[in-house]
């Protein structure tokens, strides 16, 4: 039995996209599940839009997600892996040239001398007549003399592949039997531009064949390309791989997820503090499910359970709330040291942005975890929860210090009374368990609602109306700073 070989072939024309990451993950899960080989190839023939920075972004974030490829280009100081290289299309142009020459020699392809202007004019003409866009076959049957005449005019030909009429059919692993009429493919297909660079349809087929790809797993947006590829595989005498087209990723309004409408770069999710376990888990569920209630699955569990039969046909809605929920679940499951290490850069960023005066050590962060762990939809939410602990001088907004049912004088006496009660209780009274009854008792004797008193205290110690639990927050702040902040807040309300 041949060992399955799958690949992803991103174009480095933008940062790693959520959709590409999902495709990469499904290929990875398939390969690992069946003991196959997962290959990374870079389709960098769009020289205008491809950049080394985008390439680095794609490789870095695939790696970050844990989607290690078995074969791929040299990158990040590491050597090329695999025996089918090079793995960048711009380094494989000789192969495309040779394959195109073969098609020309067999008259499966021909030189097309049409200029961009001529093709454009024809496209506009068809558009105006409300006809589908299609090549007009002008160069399909040129005589040798006509070719020579075009050449002497200085025209450089593109190479066009003859699309023969007929139905192209294939069995898609997800969609089942697919049949597409070749008449709908837009006519003979340019496979090599006049400047010698291959078009996507051609490069992908030559490379998939040369790299021994057995299964092509990619987004449904490529479904209409597949018949073109099948015709090219056949014309070149290559075996046709098995295809699996993954459902489109949709916005909640069922429009296609796009850069314009939604956040699509993986790096932006990482920057917000989504953890890799949750992103991988979530991406796996974009078009696939275990068929059970189980939703929280590690990458190894996903590999074990992955089954192409369970890939859905219908679009997969990208539900940010569900992603946040999963992220929170994974944050709860991380070991203390691991979570603290992942939070550290976010806390350093708080300091850099001036929202904190110092960055806690990893050991200090571990100490804060019981208070914050269940309150983090994303790691980036940490600053709002704990910055108040890491600022030297807090300047709460006096308006926030006064709860709705109170006036400034009541707030001031409430804060001072709380301060005195805490001071009077001594160090032994400064625990989560002791603070609550002491302050509730104070509110009761003064005829205040405990909630009002607690709100004034909360704002006094943190500057915020929402914090982790109040008594935990006070203990984390420490007795001396709590007393000082209560006194300072009362001063702000004086006069």
324 binding ligand GLU? (CB under 6 A)? no
Catalytic-residue membership of 267: no
**Token pair listed for 284:** 């796996």
Contact range with ligand GLU by CB under 6 A, out of 9-17, 123-131, 335-343, 449-457:
9-17
Instruction: State the Cα–Cα distance between residues 25 and 396, nearest whole angstrom.
Output: 47
55 binding ligand GLU? (CB under 6 A)? no
| Angle value at C-alpha 234, between 228 and 235, nearest 5 degrees | 90
Which of 6, 9, 323, 331 touches ligand GLU (CB under 6 A)? Answer: 9
Q: Which of 492, 495, 486, 477 is nearest to 415 (CA)?
A: 486
Contact map string, positions 17 to 46, toward ligand GLU, x by CB under 6 A: --------------------------x---
Residue 265 or 421 with smaller CB distance to ligand GLU? 265
Q: Which residues of 154-181 are buried (b: 16+ CB within 10 A; e: fewer)?
A: ebebbbbbbbeeeebebebbbbeebebe
Which of 32, 218, 305, 458 touches ligand GLU (CB under 6 A)? Answer: 218
**Token pair listed for 102:** 């073969």
Q: Which does 394 bind (CB under 5 to 8 A by kind): ligand GLU, Zn ion, none?
A: none
To which H or E segment does residue 486 belong? helix 479-492
Contact range with ligand GLU by CB under 6 A, out of 8-16, 28-36, 277-285, 370-378:
8-16
Which of 33, 134, 155, 222 touches ligand GLU (CB under 6 A)? Answer: 222
Residue 40 or 347 with smaller CB distance to ligand GLU? 40
Number of residues in contact with ligand GLU under rule CB under 6 A: 7
Residue of 228, 259, 261, 449 marked active site: 259
Pairing of strands 176-181, 189-192: unpaired
Tokens 């569900």 identify what position?
A: 322
Contact range with ligand GLU by CB under 6 A, out of 4-12, 133-141, 280-288, 361-369:
4-12
Establish whether the linkage from the previous residue to 102 is cis, with ω within 30° of 0.
Answer: no
By CB under 5 A, name the binding residues for Zn ion: 112, 114, 138-139
Tell me the DSSP string of 283-294. Answer: HHTSSB--SSS-
First-residue to last-residue Cα distance in the chain: 87
11 binding ligand GLU? (CB under 6 A)? yes
Binding site for ligand GLU (CB under 6 A): 9-11, 43, 204, 218, 222
* Positions marked catalytic: 259
């Amino acid at each position: 039995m041949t060992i399955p070989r799958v690949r992803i072939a991103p174009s480095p024309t933008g940062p790693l996209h959520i959709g590409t990451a999902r495709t990469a993950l499904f290929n990875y899960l398939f390969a690992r599940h069946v003991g196959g080989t997962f290959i990374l190839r870079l389709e960098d023939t769009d020289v205008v839009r491809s950049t080394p920075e985008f390439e680095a972004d794609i490789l870095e974030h695939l790696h970050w997600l844990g989607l290690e490829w078995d074969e791929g280009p040299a990158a990040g100081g590491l050597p090329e892996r695999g025996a089918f290289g090079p793995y960048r299309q711009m380094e494989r142009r000789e192969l495309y040239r040779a394959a195109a020459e073969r098609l020309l020699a067999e008259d499966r392809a021909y030189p097309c001398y049409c200029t961009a202007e001529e093709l454009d004019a024809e496209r506009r003409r068809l558009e105006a007549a409300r006809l589908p866009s299609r090549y007009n076959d002008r160069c399909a049957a040129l005589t040798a003399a006509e070719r020579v005449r075009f050449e002497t005019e200085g025209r450089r030909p593109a190479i066009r592949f003859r699309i023969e009429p007929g139905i192209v059919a294939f069995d898609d692993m997800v969609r089942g039997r697919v049949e597409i009429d070749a008449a709908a493919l837009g006519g003979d297909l340019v496979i090599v531009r006049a400047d010698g660079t291959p078009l996507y349809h051609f490069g992908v087929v030559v490379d998939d064949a040369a790299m021994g790809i057995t299964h092509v797993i990619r987004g449904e947006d490529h479904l209409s390309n597949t018949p073109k590829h099948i015709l090219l595989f056949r014309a070149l005498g290559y075996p046709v791989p098995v295809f699996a087209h993954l459902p489109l990723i949709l916005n909640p309004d069922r429009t296609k997820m796009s850069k314009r409408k939604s956040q699509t770069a993986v790096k932006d999710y990482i920057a917000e503090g989504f953890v890799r376990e949750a992103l991988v888990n979530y991406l796996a569920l974009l078009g696939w499910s275990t068929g059970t209630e189980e939703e929280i699955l590690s990458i190894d569990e996903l590999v074990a359970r992955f089954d192409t039969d369970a890939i859905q046909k219908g679009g997969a809605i990208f539900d940010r709330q569900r992603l946040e929920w999963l992220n929170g679940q994974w944050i709860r499951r991380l070991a203390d040291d691991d979570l603290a290490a992942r939070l550290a850069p976010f806390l350093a960023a708080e300091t850099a942005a001036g929202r904190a005066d110092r960055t806690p050590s990893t050991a200090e962060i571990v100490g804060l975890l019981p208070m914050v762990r269940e309150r983090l939809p994303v790691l980036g939410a940490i600053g709002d929860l704990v910055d108040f602990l890491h600022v030297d001088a807090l300047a709460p907004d006096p308006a926030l210090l006064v709860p709705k049912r109170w006036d400034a004088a009541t707030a001031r006496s409430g804060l001072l009374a709380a301060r005195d009660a805490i001071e009077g209780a001594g160090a032994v009274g400064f625990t989560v368990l002791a603070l609550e009854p002491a302050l509730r008792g104070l509110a009761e004797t003064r005829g205040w609602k405990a909630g009002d008193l607690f709100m004034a205290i909360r704002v006094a110690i943190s500057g915020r109306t929402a914090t982790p639990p109040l008594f935990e927050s006070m203990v984390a702040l420490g007795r001396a700073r709590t007393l000082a902040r209560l006194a300072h807040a009362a001063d702000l309300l004086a006069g």
